[in-house]
Amino acid sequence: MIFSPGITVGGLFFVCDTISNIAKLRSRKKRGVLKSTGDNRQRQTLFEKSASCYDAHMIEEKLETLVREALSVLDVQVNTVLVESPAEPGHGDYATNAALMYAKAAGLSPRELAANLVNEMMRILPEEVEAIEVAGPGFINFRLSDTYFSRALAEALNQKGNWGHNETLKGKKVIVEYTDPNPFKEFHIGHLMSNAIGESIARIIVASGAETKRACYQGDVGMHVAKAVYGMKQLHSNTESIQAHLSPVFLGKAYAIGANAYESNETAKASIVEINKKIYSREDAEINTLYDAGRAVSLKYFEVIYKKLGTAFDEYFFESKTGAFGKQIVIDNPQIFEKGEGGAVVYRGDEAKGLHTRVFINAEGLPTYEAKELGLAKIKYDTYPYDTSIVITANEVNAYFKVLLDAMSKVFPELAAKTIHISHGMLRLPTGKMSSRTGDVITAEALIADVKEKAFEKIDNSAFTNEKKNEVAEQVAIGAIKYSILRQASNKDIIFDFDQSLSFEGDSGPYLQYAHARALSVLAKAHDKKIDALSYHHSTNLLHKHLLRYPSVVSRASTEREPHYIATYLIELAREFNGYYGNTIILDGAPDEAYKLALVKATTLTLKNGLHLLGIPTPETM
């Protein structure tokens, strides 16, 4: 059954008049029916934002309030009311399952309750709603008016670079730590995963209005460094010779030698442990020289990669600093940390809570990962007094991080409460886990170069100079790699297969970049033709409707800190656009031309903004 509210939707677009509707409702509402404390707040929000009814968040809230009020008039006690965009466009623009949820409480069948709710809602229907219908087992579907869609599209174009942003984190200070490569070791594709996810989350948080700092934590001390320094000395006998050969590749080899020796040779192991101590104490001039030179080479090399990836860190933290600091914190809190076997200092995690006992200071008197992290939390806060500190790591450290947070909740309860650990899956090769020790690693640099070469060959644009081709090939390569990481939920492992993961077709980064470039080329061909979202109505245009969902997708990605929602949305949008493009002649001089151009323009804007949130570059031509 379809109910038509019979409201006129002329050229005028009225500012929300929900206020008066609510006033009417209040007078009708029976005292005490509305138990939910959220309602007053919600109405308050409605008032504040009433200037922009054609905003997606706004209309959702408005419909939710409408359903809630209708339920209360019918004496149904409500907790939550869900209004959502149905996956199937044929089911309307928004839908609610309220009748299904509350049928039992109301003592009616779902369809009966739905019919009653619709009757109630008809009396106070906002003008954005064109029709309401009961469907299926008792869903209530809302259809919005053409005017709403036109206005919303115009507003999107108006917002330009801010289109899709929200203010849910306005005024908050957030620090996001990610990538975290270790000097002296390779920057491999696992770091690429951390970087892609971290950079995207940072950008999504910025888009939610927070003041955001990007942080990188680099392990410039520890056993891995000692192993590398040991290996350096094995490769060349004197310091001068080592310095002459110093490069990231050389360091990678040195690490592999050290790591293997550590496992297979007791003398070497003892010597590595000794080097490790000296790195901390800086008592040995030769080791200091090797260490300083190796560290500098690594850090310089990392900067080149960060730049390629589009990351600019605001803060760098080093284990050489956090270690000493963290160790002191552990020593200062003997009531929390206790002596373990062999002189180590440990934190006894509560087994009932699934926590391990972890070593914070080892038998050599050196701080471990856990103590360093503890120091890091405090140093970060002293550097930048955050409201939230997000740490992004691979999920192999999950168990340690839990222990760490438990210990931190005793030492720095206020910091522990502000810390959020986000872990992602592992990037693994079809042959299994990567290992720097066996040299079975794919470095980020090698991967980017390979993909770039493939992209370079594919470019078939006679207008491009070689330099331009090179630039675009790199953008495409970064897009392909990042998309392959961000397309799926981040807690899952990625089985990294070069051909499978790095497609340029279909569900891929380049597909998105191509759709964007193609849409731009239409606009370029349009010259100074009029672009006007208000000039025409196509209420059934799926591209139009899809475009308007963008802000709620960003919002969800922000709340759940999951970039893949944006990736999935963009691929659907690009597909929708390509289909539209393939079946519609846009520049035909017809009466709806200005409207079609508005759709194209909104597509470029949404793809550009969305790809930015994924950290994927958008070449203008390709």
One residue of 12, 23, 51, 87 binding RNA per CB under 7 A: 87
Sort 35 into a burial class: Cβ within 10 Å, 0-12 / 13-18 / 19+: exposed
Decide whether 26 or 433 has the Cβ nearer to RNA: 433
**DSSP tag of 586:** S
SS3 string, 354-372, reads CCCEEEEECCCCCECHHHH
Q: How far is the CB of 417 from RNA (least distance, A)?
A: 21
- Given the rule CB under 7 A, which of 120-128, 339-347, 375-383, 409-417 is the region that contacts RNA? 339-347
Which residues between 13 and 72 bind RNA (CB under 7 A)? none
The token pair at 331 is 């020593």
Which residues between 142 and 161 bind RNA (CB under 7 A)? none
- Write each residue from 454 to 473 as x if it is in contact with RNA (CB under 7 A), else as -, in one continuous string: -x--xxx-----------x-
Cα separation, 238 vs 218, in Å, equals 27
- Given the rule CB under 7 A, which of 36-44, 160-168, 307-315, 564-572 is the region that contacts RNA? 564-572
Question: Binding to RNA by residue 97, rule CB under 7 A?
Answer: yes
Decide whether 286 or 560 has the Cβ nearer to RNA: 560
| Nearest one of 369, 424, 434, 445 to 400, comparing CA atoms | 369
Decide whether 240 or 457 has the Cβ nearer to RNA: 457
Decide whether 174 or 599 has the Cβ nearer to RNA: 599
Question: Binding to RNA by residue 82, rule CB under 7 A?
Answer: yes
Q: How far is the CB of 237 from RNA (least distance, A)?
A: 26
Cα separation, 391 vs 489, in Å, equals 17
- Given the rule CB under 7 A, which of 111-119, 203-211, 530-538, 581-589 is the region that contacts RNA? 581-589
Which residues between 523 and 542 bind RNA (CB under 7 A)? 525
- Given the rule CB under 7 A, which of 116-124, 308-316, 501-509, 540-548 is the region that contacts RNA? 501-509
Question: Binding to RNA by residue 182, rule CB under 7 A?
Answer: yes
Look up tokens 């050489």; give the residue. 320
Tell me the number of residues near RNA by CB under 7 A.
107
- Given the rule CB under 7 A, which of 19-27, 122-130, 231-239, 486-494 is the region that contacts RNA? 486-494
One residue of 117, 144, 156, 520 binding RNA per CB under 7 A: 520
One residue of 518, 601, 608, 612 binding RNA per CB under 7 A: 518
Question: Binding to RNA by residue 622, rule CB under 7 A?
Answer: yes
Which residues between 104 and 123 bind RNA (CB under 7 A)? 104, 110
Which residues between 247 and 306 bind RNA (CB under 7 A)? 273
Q: How far is the CB of 600 from RNA (least distance, A)?
A: 9
Secondary structure class of 170 (helix, strand, coil)? coil
Q: How far is the CB of 103 from RNA (least distance, A)?
A: 7
Give Dmax over CA atoms of the chain in angstroms.
91
Cα separation, 63 vs 126, in Å, equals 8
Decide whether 22 or 619 has the Cβ nearer to RNA: 619
- Given the rule CB under 7 A, which of 4-12, 32-40, 229-237, 490-498 is the region that contacts RNA? 490-498
Q: How far is the CB of 96 from RNA (least distance, A)?
A: 8
Which residues between 386 and 425 bind RNA (CB under 7 A)? 395-400, 425
- Given the rule CB under 7 A, which of 5-13, 18-26, 294-302, 484-492 is the region that contacts RNA? 484-492
One residue of 18, 65, 72, 85 binding RNA per CB under 7 A: 85
Cα separation, 308 vs 565, in Å, equals 24
One residue of 45, 50, 470, 578 binding RNA per CB under 7 A: 578
- Given the rule CB under 7 A, which of 1-9, 64-72, 87-95, 250-258 is the region that contacts RNA? 87-95
SS3 string, 531-572, reads CCCCCCCCCCCHHHHHHCCHHHHHHHHHHHCCCHHHHHHHHH
The answer to whether the beta carbons of residues 210 and 424 sit under 8 Å apart is no
| Nearest one of 504, 512, 519 to 473, comparing CA atoms | 504
Secondary structure class of 188 (helix, strand, coil)? strand
Sort 451 into a burial class: Cβ within 10 Å, 0-12 / 13-18 / 19+: buried
Question: Binding to RNA by residue 575, rule CB under 7 A?
Answer: yes
Question: Binding to RNA by residue 508, rule CB under 7 A?
Answer: yes
**DSSP tag of 352:** G
The answer to whether the beta carbons of residues 493 and 425 sit under 8 Å apart is yes
The answer to whether the beta carbons of residues 152 and 55 sit under 8 Å apart is yes
Residue type, 234: Q
Measured CA to CA in angstroms, residue 545 lies from 53, 428, 505, 535, 592 at distances of: 16, 38, 25, 16, 17
Which residues between 433 and 452 bind RNA (CB under 7 A)? 433
Q: How far is the CB of 324 from RNA (least distance, A)?
A: 13
The token pair at 544 is 């139009």
One residue of 346, 441, 573, 605 binding RNA per CB under 7 A: 346
| Nearest one of 339, 335, 407 to 371, comparing CA atoms | 407
Question: Binding to RNA by residue 511, rule CB under 7 A?
Answer: yes
The token pair at 148 is 């709403």
Cα separation, 492 vs 499, in Å, equals 19
Residue type, 256: A
Which residues between 356 and 375 bind RNA (CB under 7 A)? 356-359, 362-364, 366, 368-369, 372
Q: How far is the CB of 306 from RNA (least distance, A)?
A: 18
> Beta partners for 419?
389
Alpha helices, H only, 384-465: 398-411, 413-418, 444-458
